[in-house]
Amino acid sequence: MIPKICLAGTLVAAVTAGGAVALRAQPTVQVQGAPPYTLLSREGRRPLVARRVNGQDMFTLDELAPIFNLSVREDALAGGLTISTTRQTIVLSAGQTLASVGGRLISLPSPAVRDGRTWLVPVELVSRAIGPASGLRVEVRKSSRLVIVGDLTVPRVALRFDDEGGGRARLTFEVDPAAGHHVTEESGRLVVAFDADAIDPRLGTIPAGPLVAGVRAADNAPSIAVDLGPAFASYRVADVAGGEGVGRFVIELVGAAPAQPAPAQPAQPAAPAPVAPLFELSPPATIQTIVIDPGHGGAETGVRGPNGTLEKDVTLAVARRLKGAIEGRLGIRALLTRDGDQTVGLDERAAQANNNKADLFVSLHANASPRASTAGAEVFYLSLEGYGQEAEAASRADGVPLPVFGGTARVIQLIPWEMAQARYLDRSAALAGMVADELRQRVPMSRRALERGPFRVLVGANMPAVLVEMGFLSNPDEERVLTSEPFQNAVVEALLQSVVRFRDYLRTTAAAAGRPGRQP
- The tens-digit pLDDT sequence of the chain (520 residues) is 443 333 333 333 333 333 333 334 445 567 888 999 999 999 999 999 999 998 899 999 999 999 999 999 987 766 678 999 988 999 998 788 999 998 899 999 999 988 888 889 999 999 999 999 999 999 999 999 999 999 999 999 999 998 888 888 999 999 999 999 888 888 788 999 999 999 999 988 888 899 999 999 988 889 999 999 998 888 888 887 777 888 999 998 888 755 555 555 555 554 444 443 433 444 556 899 999 999 999 999 999 999 999 999 999 999 999 999 999 888 899 999 999 999 999 889 999 999 899 999 999 999 999 899 999 999 999 886 554 454 444 444 444 444 444 444 443 343 444 556 778 988 999 999 999 999 999 999 998 899 998 888 998 899 999 999 999 999 999 999 999 999 999 999 999 999 999 999 998 887 776 655 443 3
How many Å separate Cα 96 from the centre of its chain? 47
Q: What is the pTM of this model?
A: 0.48
The backbone region for 77, taken as left when phi is positive above 0, alpha when psi lies in -120 to 50, beta otherwise, is: alpha
- The CATH label, of 1.10.1240.10, 3.40.47.10, 3.40.50.2300, 3.40.630.40, for the domain at 289-512 is 3.40.630.40
Put the strands of the sheet holding 138-141 in their side by side order: 113-115, 118-122, 56-60, 44-53, 31-41, 146-149, 138-141
Supply the pLDDT for residue 63: 93
Residue 239 pLDDT = 82
Measured between alpha carbons, how far is 153 from 3 in angstroms, rounded to an integer? 21
Q: List where CATH 3.30.457.10 sits in the chain.
A: 10-149
pLDDT of residue 278: 37
Whether the CB-CB separation of 402 and 420 falls below 8 Å is answered with: no
Residue 429: predicted pLDDT: 93
User: What is the C-alpha radius of gyration for the chain, rounded to an integer number of angstroms?
Assistant: 32
E strand or H helix at 225, and its extent?
A: strand 223-228
User: Phi and psi for 225 in degrees, rounded to 5?
Assistant: -105, 130
**pLDDT of 397:** 45
DSSP state of 421: G
Distance separating alpha carbons of residues 51 and 64, to the nearest angstrom: 13
CB-hemisphere CA count at 13 Å for 143? 4
Q: Provide CATH 3.40.630.40 ranges for the chain.
A: 289-512
Q: Which amino acid is at 486?
A: P
pLDDT of residue 285: 62
Helix 485-512 with 425-440: angle, nearest 10 deg: 140
> In the prediction, which pLDDT does 512 show?
73
CB 302 within 8 A of CB 295: yes
| 360-367 and 232-240 strand pairing | unpaired
Is 214:171 a contact under the CB 8 Å cutoff? no
Could you tell me if 127 and 139 are in contact, meaning their C-beta atoms sit under 8 angstroms apart? yes
| Cβ pair 392, 321 in contact under 8 A | no
With a CB cutoff of 8 Å and minimum separation 6, the contacts of 346 are 456, 457
Element (H, E) at 321: helix 311-325
CB 449 within 8 A of CB 440: yes
Residue range(s) of every CATH 2.60.40.3470 domain in the chain? 156-255
Q: What is the pLDDT of residue 78?
A: 64
Residue type, 39: L
Residue 395 belongs to what H/E stretch?
Answer: helix 390-395
Amino acid occupying residue 144: S
CATH 2.40.128.640 fits 156-255, yes or no: no
Q: Could you tell me the sign of the dihedral formed by the alpha carbons of 488, 489, 494, 498, in that order?
A: positive
The domain made up of 10-149 has a fold known as Copper Amine Oxidase; Chain A, domain 1 (3.30.457)
- The residue type found at 108 is L
CB 58 within 8 A of CB 120: yes
Given CA atoms 257, 499, 290, 430 in this order, what sign does their dihedral have? positive
Between CA 384 and CA 514 the distance in angstroms is 30
Residue 182 contacts by C-beta under 8 Å, 6 or more apart in sequence? 192, 193, 195, 321, 324, 325, 489, 492
The conformation of residue 151, written as its DSSP 8-state character, comes to: S
> According to the model, what pLDDT value does residue 233 have?
84
Cα gap 505→520, rounded to integer Å: 15
